[in-house]
Structures are given as structure tokens and as C-alpha cells.
Amino acid sequence: MVNEAVASLPPLQGCLYCHAEGATALAEGRKILGFGGNFPILKCSHCGSIAQLDTDAPASGGWRIRYRHVNRASQYYYVAIRLGKAGWLSAQEALAISTDGYAQRVRVHQTKEGDFLWLHPARLSPPPPFMNADEKVYMTLKAVTCRETPPRTLFWRPDRGPVLDSGKLYVTDQNLYLLGQRRDWSNDLEDICDVEYEDTSWTIFLETPGQLRHYHGANVTDQLDPQLVATVIESLQAKTETSSDFAIP
């Protein structure tokens, strides 16, 4: 039985994972998906997430939650990593991740729709010598490695291949610039042939005459997560292609 105090807890008002309202319910905590324990099981009928909910945890802000099964669809990328793999989270931690996860999902959606204003694109003043004066910087990514791309086999990893350079990557509405330790590298957005991301890193593949290269960056605190990095680059590239389509009479 769910008493009134428990029914009013945030995880029962709306799903912390997918944010659907009224889709979560508590069940007896026994032998669901092979795991059990003394804690009630919280299930969401919208996203299918299943978590253990400790409703009596004064030291954790009244309740705490541990996700045991989550939906790994791409729209849940952020919460899948931070809620799905975290173990027990206090009320405060879970609510903060849930809020950030919602904002991240909205940003991914906006970006796919071609809305980049949330990135506050800006011209650098003064622009670096390699940049056109009218170019706006959409993202600046730290600790980026530039590698030669070896033939992609089953065991291929983006952190393999001879390192050509490393440094700071500027993403503008026209180009990618790596301000490297050895030299500066410049590529038209149209040189990008593929963009990939996983839990902890993103990779941009470039196809230039005579050489396959890729830029690789790890998830850095206070920087956009790999899914957003990849989405911004793909959407900027799509925008460039659309504008060049219009330029053809």
C-alpha cells in the first residue's frame, strides 16, 4: 500500500528518467528481473525504467533511488549514463540529474531543429589569424586529439591511430579549427564524413584529399556532453549544406 506521504514523493509525481507525469507506480520489491531486496520497486509505464526506491532515508533527503533497468534510446542518453549507472542516489542528486537531463534533451531537440541560439555563437575579438572576420564560434572544445584514421576493423577504437596533434578545437558555422601544439589545422565543415559519440567521448571523421583523419575528445566537466557535441556538429553541417543548396541557381 502506498500511503499519502509516499505518493507525494517526486519520483511518484513524475518519472525522473523520462519526465512523463503520472506514469510511475510502486510495486512490491521482490524478484523483479531477478533482483529484489527490501525496497519497493518504482516502474515507469512510459519509458520502462525500473528502480528501487528507498522511501525512508532521512540522511539522503527523505528518499533515495537506484535504477536497475533503463531505456537506452538516444533521447535518454544523458540520464542513461548519470541515473542508469549511478547506483544509489540521494533525493538531491537524483533531482539535479533529472533536471539537467531534461534541459539536455530539450537542447538536443532544439539543435536538431536548427536552433543554435542557446550556444551563444559569437565572433572572437580580435579573430585569430586563421579565422575569417565574419565567422562565429559555436563551440570551443578542450583537450582534442587529431589522429590519422587507420583502416576501421572490428577492433578499431577512436583513441588509436598515429597522433598528429592535440589542442583546442574551435567549431564555427563554416569550419573546424584545431589550435594544435604543432600547427593549426583547418577544415571545411563539408570535409566531415561521419560523427560518432559514446558515453565518454565523441569523434569527428574527416575525409580530405590523400588523408583520413579524426578529431577525438573525451567528456570534460563544464563542457557539453558527447551527444550534444556530435549533434551540434551534425546540425551545423546540415545547415551549411542547406545554405549551399540555396546558393545554386
Instruction: Calculate helix-pair angle for 226-247, 91-112, nearest 10 degrees.
Output: 10
Distances (CA, A) of 181 to 163, 169, 204: 12, 12, 19
> At closest approach, how far in Å is the CB of 49 from Zn ion?
5
> At closest approach, how far in Å is the CB of 24 from Zn ion?
7
Burial class (CB in 10 A: 0-12, 13-18, 19+), 180: middle
Tell me if 18 contacts Zn ion by CB under 5 A.
Answer: yes
**Smallest Cα–Cα separation from 10: which of 77, 70, 76, 55?**
55
Nearer to Zn ion, 15 or 204 (CB): 15
Cα distance between residue 9 and residue 128, in whole Å: 52
Tell me if 76 contacts Zn ion by CB under 5 A.
Answer: no
Element (H, E) at 67: strand 62-69
Task: Name the one range near Zn ion by CB under 5 A: 12-20, 57-65, 96-104, 118-126.
Answer: 12-20
Task: Name the one range near Zn ion by CB under 5 A: 7-15, 54-62, 127-135, 236-244.
Answer: 7-15
Count of chain residues binding Zn ion (CB under 5 A): 6
Helix (H) and strand (E) counts in the chain: 5, 12
> At closest approach, how far in Å is the CB of 147 from Zn ion?
39
Footprint (CB under 5 A) of Zn ion, residues 183-222: none
Quick check: 147 and 166 in contact, CB under 8 A? Answer: no
Footprint (CB under 5 A) of Zn ion, residues 37-56: 44, 46-47
Three cell numbers, residue 147: 589522429
Q: Longest Cα pair distance anywhere in the chain, in angstroms?
A: 69
Task: Name the one range near Zn ion by CB under 5 A: 17-25, 105-113, 114-122, 209-217.
Answer: 17-25
Three cell numbers, residue 49: 525504467
> At closest approach, how far in Å is the CB of 46 from Zn ion?
4
> At closest approach, how far in Å is the CB of 16 from Zn ion?
8
Whether omega for the bond prior to residue 126 falls within 30 degrees of 0, making it cis, is yes
Task: Name the one range near Zn ion by CB under 5 A: 36-44, 90-98, 111-119, 130-138.
Answer: 36-44
Nearer to Zn ion, 17 or 197 (CB): 17
> At closest approach, how far in Å is the CB of 190 from Zn ion?
39
**Which residues bind to Zn ion, rule: CB under 5 A?**
15, 17-18, 44, 46-47
